[in-house]
Amino acid sequence: MRETTVNKVLGHPLNAWYVAAWDHEVNRKPLARTVANRPLAMYRTEDGRAVALADACWHRLAPLSMGTPEGRDGIRCPYHGIVYNSAGRCISMPAQETINPSATVASFPVVELHRFVWVWLGDPTKADPSLVPDMHQMDDPAWAGDGLTIPVACNYQLVLDNLMDLTHEEFVHSSTIGQEELSESEFVVTHDGDTVTVERWMLGIDAPPFWLANMRDRFPGFEGKVDRWQIIHFESPSTINIDVGVAKAGTGAPAGDRSQGVNGYVMNTITPETDKSCNYFWAFMRNYRLESQVITTKLRDGVSRVFKEDEDMLVAQQAAIEANPDYEFYSLNIDAGGMWVRRILEGKLAAEGRLPVPAVSVA
| Amino acid 180: pLDDT | 62
CB-based contact 359:5 (threshold 8 Å): yes
Dihedral pair phi/psi, residue 82, rounded to 5° = -65, 140
Q: Tell me whether the CATH fold assigned to 17-121 matches the one assigned to 140-351.
A: no
Q: What are phi and psi of 119, to 5 degrees?
A: -125, 155
Residues 295, 279: Cα–Cα separation, whole Å: 25
As a whole number of angstroms, the distance between CA 294 and CA 204 comes to 29
Superfamily (CATH H level) for 140-351: Naphthalene 1,2-dioxygenase Alpha Subunit; Chain A, domain 1 (3.90.380.10)
Mean pLDDT in consecutive groups of 10 residues from the start of the chain, 363 residues: 56 96 98 98 98 97 98 96 97 89 96 98 97 97 96 95 76 55 77 95 91 92 95 97 96 96 96 97 94 93 86 92 87 84 93 69 37
346 contacts 357 by C-beta, under 8 angstroms: no
CATH class of 17-121: mainly beta
pLDDT, residue 165, reads 84
Angle at 62 between CA 57 and CA 64, to 5 degrees: 65
The pLDDT score that the predictor gives to residue 3 is: 47
Task: Spell out the domain ranges in the chain.
Answer: 17-121, 140-351
pTM of the model: 0.91
**Maximum distance among all Cα pairs of the chain, rounded to whole angstroms:** 78
